[in-house]
Each structure stands twice: as structure tokens, then as C-alpha cells.
Amino acid sequence: MNEPLTPEYIETLRRMSGEQKLKTAFQLYWGARRLKAARLRQEHPDWSEEQVQARVREIFMYARS
């Protein structure tokens, strides 16, 4: 995300409780994992679900920001 944060977005974050922020972070994380798994299934239709999930774990384990 290279775009500057809008004042409205910053205000929304300020109004959120710590619990809400943590829940949102978890939702984003698991959503990203689901998207990555869907892409891997598309790219590798011959892979088993176990192979897909193993690759997702590997990708997220070594991800860098």
C-alpha cells in the first residue's frame, strides 16, 4: 500500500478498539492465505489440497515485508 492514508481512514482506525484492530488484522491475514491458496490451485490443478496448503504455509513463513 503506497498511497497516503486519508484522514477518514486514520479516524476510523483511531475509533477502533484494540480488539477490533486485532480481529481485522486476523481477517486480512487469513483472507490473504485463502487468496494465495486459490491462486496456487489455479496454477497447479494437479496438486492435492495438502500440497497447496503446504506451499501456502511455506510462502507465509518466509514472507518479507
Per-residue pLDDT band at 2 (split at 50, 70, 90): confident
Q: How far apart are CA 5 and CA 12, in angstroms?
A: 11
Per-residue pLDDT band at 1 (split at 50, 70, 90): low
Q: Is the pLDDT of residue 28 over 90?
A: yes
CA distances in angstroms from 11 to 4, 19, 27, 32, listed in the order given: 14, 16, 20, 25
Query: What average pLDDT score do residues 30-42 get?
Result: 97
Q: Is the pLDDT of residue 65 over 80?
A: no
The reported pLDDT for the residue numbered 18 is 96
Name the grid cell of 2: 503506497
Q: Report if pTM > 0.85.
A: no
